[in-house]
Structure 1
């Protein structure tokens, strides 16, 4: 058991703290050109995304950082799938704004 724990810690050190458990939203946020996108804020937003969106939806939402026009296309879409996703995405955004304010 002690060896397993030691190996896990060594693995985390090799990966580095900033990328070890970053989700798609955090990665996209950090890579964005937004001045307010601090690592702490991006990590907070990602933690809200993990509780509000499926992993697939997180990857989809992460693309909005690099392609804001895609967000507009989804928002304006007439398909039920896109409308349902947009409703969850908006709820996620409101939760993230409330929970992560001031970070």
Structure 2
């Protein structure tokens, strides 16, 4: 298994599922809040804000809420990734793309 940097791990958990057509000022910012509450050493306002901005560009509000929930429930991420449901497959693909983009953008 490939080892991940802390930033990549935060992004991976912030994204997996899923990121935006929602306005950045939306009362949401679900990804940013989940990132800040994640208790990871590298979680910071600038990093989590960057991840949220990428999410706003790539994920719908609903996908962002789903992705944010994965911060507290990594097992759920695994369930979604392995799910046979078409909606989960679609979300997972978008979430992975978001994770890659956030990882490349937010360093």
Query: What band does the TM-score fall into relative to the shorter chain?
Result: 0.7 to 0.9
The structure showing larger relative contact order (alpha-carbon pairs under 8 Å, at least 6 residues apart) is 2
Aligned to 1:95: 101
Q: Which runs of 4+ in 1 moved over 3 A?
A: none
**For 2:42, what is the secondary structure of its paired residue?**
coil
1:58 corresponds to: 64
Q: Is the alpha carbon distance of 1:82 and 1:22 closer, same or farther for their aligned partners in structure 2, counting shifts above 3 Å?
A: closer
Give the distance between the partners of 2:53 and 2:47, measured in 1 at CA.
10
The unaligned stretches of length 5 or more in structure 1 are 1-19
RMSD: 1.4
Q: Which has the larger radius of gyration?
A: 1
Counting matched residue pairs gives: 82
Give, in angstroms, the shift of residue 22 of structure 1. Answer: 6.2
Q: TM-score, normalised by structure 2?
A: 0.73
In the superposition, the TM-score normalised over structure 1's length comes to: 0.76
Residue matched to 1:70: 76
Q: Does 1:38 align with 2:44?
A: yes
